[in-house]
Amino acid sequence: MSELDALKERLSNLQRDALAAFDGAADLAALNQLRVAYLGKKGALTEVLKGVGKLAPADRPVIGKFVNQTKQALAEALQQAEAALAVQAKAARIAAERVDVSMPGRRRPAGALHPVQQGLDDLTSIFAQMGFAVAEGPEIEDEFHNFDALNISPEHPARAMHDTFFMQDLRAGDDGEPMLLRTHTSPVQIRAMRRLLDNGGEPPLAVVAPGRVYRCDYDVTHSPMFHQVEVFKVDRDVSMAHLKGVLQHFLSAYFEKEVAIRLRPHYFPFTEPSAEVDIGCVFCAGKGCRICKGSGWIEVLGSGMIHPNVLNAVGIDSNKFSGFAFGLGVERMVMLKQGIPDLRLFFENDVRFLRRMGVAL
């Protein structure tokens, strides 16, 4: 066999092998390796072409044409294989990423507002709508704000009755009085009045103060942590009539019906005169039932005219200004409105209760 024929045969063998290999490439990476193996600088084709030098000069154009045909056949085959593999890869990706739209969705359980939080929000917004400013105070208080300034002197029996949590390690002021967890939201009265005066203002001042309070007490109707809303207004000529008007409006708004109210004389150190406020029983409409113990009335809050000593303690002239104040227990209000029988339900965090009573967001 002549050198020329031998070379031609090697070229057509190479072409046959290459086309078969390209066809069988599993993926684009494998195909690329084959491209290098056959067409690369050190590839099989280069190797065969080394034989061209040995040919007679007359044979060279002949083999040149043959080589070009081989190269072109390889390039075309490569392109085809590449296109086929690309289609295959895309189909595989689409299959892998396929979304089954008939699958049931994953539920995201939604939370709800705790009934106490909902109660705080409802109560606060009723007063905010009446023009009262919302204020908050610290839960860790000193004795001045929690007691003294509210006309509860150190010897006062009310001080003992408050079942206070003292924080012996935390002390306030020069005399190192122990700090305490506030037993009511009334100290916000003192803080709000002081802030007004410190900023150079003077009454009128109307405030609603929602917040957490603490007492060392635990049974069916008491929790060591609970919530109160404190409401007060100071201005010239504020009278008990204003107190009663605000109470009537607020209690009817909260219970979403016209409720009867009654003020019963009572005693609080920080108000004079003081009154406990009853509403006509919301369960029996005043006829008398188990919950109102047959009386037709349910006690809901404590109130009164701010004691002159309290106004004077913050530097408001009690001859010029007067005020009313009241404070209520949020859990109690929510229990009465929603018919919840046991205070402890609020704090046990049983999801069955929270799902039923919680307000969806």
Site of interaction with ligand DAH (CB under 6 A): 184, 186, 230, 268, 271, 302-304, 325-327
Q: Which is nearer to ligand DAH, 70 or 274 (CB)?
A: 274
CB of 136 to ligand DAH, least distance (A): 16
CB of residue 304 vs ligand DAH: minimum separation in angstroms?
4
In the complex, which residue's CB is closest to ligand DAH? 327
103-122 burial string, b = 16+ CB within 10 Å, else e? eeeeeeeeebbbbbbbbbeb
CB 115 → ligand DAH: shortest distance, Å? 21
Closest separation between CB of residue 266 and ligand DAH, Å? 8
Closest CB to ligand DAH among 15 and 228? Answer: 228
Q: How many CA atoms lie within 13 A of 131 on its CB side?
A: 5
Distance CA 256, CA 55 (A): 110
Provide the minimum distance between the beta carbon of 162 and ligand DAH in the complex, in angstroms, as a whole number: 8
Task: Please state, in angstroms and rounded to a whole number, the distance separating the CA atoms of residues 145 and 314.
Answer: 10
The helix/strand/coil state of 94 is helix
Separation between Cα atoms, residue 76 and residue 70, nearest integer Å: 10
Residue 289: what residue type? C
Residue closer to ligand DAH, measured from CB, 15 or 146? 146
Nearer of residues 35 and 227 to ligand DAH, judged by Cβ: 227
Tell which residue, 8, 78, 17, has the closest CA to residue 49. Answer: 8
Burial of residue 43, with CB atoms counted within 10 A of its CB: 0-12 exposed, 13-18 middle, 19 or more buried: middle
Compute the least distance from the CB of residue 358 to ligand DAH, in Å: 26
Q: Going by DSSP bridges, is the β-strand pair 177-181/205-214 parallel, antiparallel, or unpaired? A: unpaired
Shortest Å, Cβ 233 to ligand DAH: 11
223 vs 303, beta carbon nearer ligand DAH: 303
| 293 vs 169: CA distance, rounded Å | 44
Closer to ligand DAH by CB, 34 or 333: give it: 333
Q: How far is the CB of 252 from ligand DAH (least distance, A)?
A: 20
> What is 30-61 written as a DSSP string?
HHHHHHHHHHSTTSHHHHHHGGGGGS-GGGHH
Strand, helix or coil at 215?
coil
Q: Which DSSP state fits 149? A: G
The count of other CB atoms within 10 Å of the CB of residue 97 is: 7
Write down the least CB distance from residue 247 to ligand DAH, Å. 11
Least separation in angstroms between residue 213's CB and ligand DAH is 7
Nearer to ligand DAH, 38 or 226 (CB): 226
Backbone angles phi, psi at 333, to 5 degrees: -65, -40
d(Cα 273, Cα 303) in Å, to the nearest integer? 9
- Nearer CB in complex with ligand DAH: 100/219: 219
Closest CB to ligand DAH among residues 14, 306: 306
- Residue 59 or 299: the one with the smaller Cβ distance to ligand DAH is 299
Strands 261-268 and 205-214: unpaired
